[in-house]
Amino acid sequence: MSEPKNAIEQATLDLWRKGVMTADEIGLELGKSKNAIVGMVNRMRQRGVDVSRDEVVMAKRKLFHPVPKPIPVQLDDDPKGYEKGHLPVRHLNSRTCRWPYGDTRAESGVTYCGDVTMEVGRSYCREHHTKAYYSPSRRS
């Protein structure tokens, strides 16, 4: 059975074998990236170093640190039902104009234009793009 080549490989292997830390966490501990740790472990495995982990500890860890499930975004109603300038913030997406209407201090808050943007990734519809990016002096 081969052995680690140097101190950093030994340190990585010690933490790895315990099975308590993820490659990410070992990387943080040793000042390396997750990929560097995974690569080092793979190279050691290829040289015949025993890189097996404590599976019992790993299983317990998964039990007590379950991966959180993503929470689905709840859209309570259809954005098409809003008049221009009255789109609530929750309905903004990559194709809706973000030109704000209203007062942030008012109880009703701010609503948005909601028109289709000029292109995907642009913030405003054609009308509001012009208002936002061209000064009055240049418009004449």
Residue choice 125, 132, 135, 138 for contact with Zn ion (CB under 5 A): 125
Q: Is 18 helix (H, G, I), strand (E, B) or coil?
A: helix
Among 12, 15, 99, 111, binds Zn ion (CB under 5 A): 99
Which residue shows structure tokens 């405003």? 124
Site for Zn ion contains 26 (CB under 5 A): no
Q: Does 115 bind Zn ion (CB under 5 A)?
A: yes
Stretch of 3-11, 36-44, 53-61, 121-129 lying at the interface with Zn ion (CB under 5 A): 121-129
Task: Give yes or no for residue 113 binding Zn ion (CB under 5 A).
Answer: yes
Give the nearest distance from C-beta 9 to Zn ion in angstroms. Answer: 58
Tokens of 52: 């097996």
Residue among 23 and 97 whose Cβ is closer to Zn ion = 97
What 2-8 contacts at long range (C-beta under 8 Å, 24+ apart), as own/partner pairs, is 2/44, 2/47, 2/48, 2/49, 3/49, 4/44, 4/49, 8/32, 8/40
Burial pattern 102-117, b for ≥16 Cβ within 10 A else e, equals eeeeeeeeebbbbbeb
Q: Which is nearer to Zn ion, 11 or 101 (CB)?
A: 101
Binding site residues, Zn ion, CB under 5 A? 97, 99, 113, 115, 125, 128
